[in-house]
Amino acid sequence: MVLAPASGDEREDADIRQWQEHVRAAGAKAESYDRLAWAYVAKARRTLDAGYYKLAETTADVRDAKFGADAESRLLRGHVLHNLHRFHEAEVVARQLVDERGAPMDFALLSDALMEQGRLSDAIQACQQLVNLKPGVEAYSRIAHLRWLKGDLAGATAMMESAEGAASPRDLETRAWLLARLSGYYLQSGQTHRALLVAERALKAAASYPPALLARGRALLAWGKNSDAAAVLQRAAELNPLPEYQWWLADALRAFGDDAAAAKVELVIRTRGEAADPRTLALFLATRGEAATEAVRLSRAELETRADVITHDALAWALAMSGDLSSAQTELELARAEHTRDARLLWHAGEIALLRGDREAAAKAFAEAQPMAATLTPSERARLDHRLAASSESSLSGATALKR
């Protein structure tokens, strides 16, 4: 399987073919298998196709059968487990590596696995060890995300800028990924023009890279360029048919006025979303006000392995739409425990507060979400705008009554 001819003209395809030849050669060494496995990982990162992670894992199986497992093959396995969302298993591998040798990437893997499980304090400690051992792009990009989760957007942006500056000019995929994330931070801070420019830089680094296309599409939507955004997001969703990409595409198509095309995309989300990304499907269903029980089931299942703030928010939102406001409030408090500043999370908090009859808390949450509204899909942003307008009208009515 791992020696099947690799098609494609990207650098990663050439690397796969090169290391396949090394593995085929008589007397092939363990290092050749390692390099082939990491070439599959690189291909998975560019394409976001999980099948390449499975090929990397299979390569590691063959390698270990021939030469025995060692720290390098375990690190590869841990990386694959993390990317396949088997976070607890990845943590077990990472802890073994940290105890055995404590290399920089061992701490990076441990930090990633802990972060996805919602254990931010432990993740920060592991990341600090990474920084102490090897400051650079791997450390800075992780610090940026941890800062974002803790509600420090300015600090996250500054650190992601440092990560981009430290990236190797030859590692175009990593540079594109960093720039796509940086574009999202700029979009959240209201710097829509800068977000668009950075997304375009990401595409120059790696043409047709799905996260960069998504970043550009989101920035175009923030500018109201719905037709251009729909075309970009169409390409992104073709390359990476995950629910997140399809949701943005569907909303762009509706904003452009093509409801029929949007409905077709939404049907794909509903029918295939659980296998691809159950958490996003749960958020989508709850936002559309349909299949609330199913959204709760999907969110609870995700929470068993991925207990971060986004998953707690997804469950809170699904529970609220199902009518279980008490449980929704409990999950919402867990989602907001790290003080993460995210427009969707805050909009959900406002809607849940309204359902509970707490208009003051709802107005506060909506107002906090408003400066970051560009990161919402067009339909979500329209609903937030409606709530803000209603809050403003209510305030004006109250002021008029006081004057009388």
CB 142 within 8 A of CB 156: no
253 within some domain = no
The residue segments making up the domain with residue 286 are 277-389
**Per-residue pLDDT tens over the stretch 108-121:** 999 999 999 999 99
Within-domain flag for 4: no
Count CB neighbours of 357 within 10 A: 9
Of 51-65, 143-157, 279-293, 325-339, the range with the lowest mean pLDDT is 51-65
CA atoms within 13 A of residue 21's CA, in its CB half-sphere: 5
Over the stretch 146-177, which tens digit does the pLDDT of each residue have? 999 999 999 999 999 999 999 998 888 899 99
Question: E strands within 3-154?
Answer: none
| Residue whose C-alpha is closest to residue 288's, from 309, 260, 264, 269 | 269
Share of the chain above pLDDT 90, in %: 83
Query: Residue 211: inside a domain, yes or no?
Result: no
The answer to whether residue 339 sits within a structural domain is yes
pLDDT band at 240 (very low <50, low <70, confident <90, very high): very high
Q: How many domains does the chain have?
A: 1
| Mean pLDDT value across residues 352-367 | 96
Q: How much is the CA Rg of the chain, to the nearest whole Å?
A: 22
What is the three-state SS of 94-145? HHHHHHHCCCHHHHHHHHHHHHHCCCHHHHHHHHHHHHHHCCCHHHHHHHHH
Between CA 308 and CA 400 the distance in angstroms is 44
The pTM of this model reads 0.90
Q: Can you tell me whether residue 403 is helix, strand or coil?
A: helix
pLDDT category at 396 given cuts 50, 70, 90 is very low
Q: Which of the four pLDDT bands, split at 50, 70 and 90, describes residue 100?
A: very high
- Arithmetic mean of pLDDT, 325-329: 97
Better-predicted residue by pLDDT, 172 or 140 = 140
Query: Does 20 fall in a domain?
Result: no
The verdict on residue 374 lying in a domain is yes
How would you classify residue 161: left for phi > 0, otherwise alpha for psi between -120 and 50, otherwise beta? alpha
Average pLDDT, the chain: 93
Report how far residue 117's alpha carbon sits from residue 208's, in angstroms, rounded to the nearest whole number: 31
CA-to-CA dists, residue 7 to 15, 349, 354, angstroms: 11, 47, 54
Residue 334: inside a domain, yes or no? Answer: yes
Higher-pLDDT residue of 397, 191: 191
Which CATH number fits the domain that encloses residue 363? Answer: 1.25.40.10
Q: Which of 18, 132, 22, 138 is nearest to 79 (CA)?
A: 138
Instruction: Tell me the two tokens of residue 67.
Output: 């030469």
- Helices 172-188 and 210-222, packing angle to 10 deg: 20
Residue 247 lies in a domain: no
Task: Give the pLDDT confidence of 246-288 residue by residue, as tens digits.
Answer: 999 999 999 999 999 999 999 999 999 999 899 999 999 999 9
Residue that has been written with the tokens 């995929």 in this structure: 173
pLDDT at 174: 92
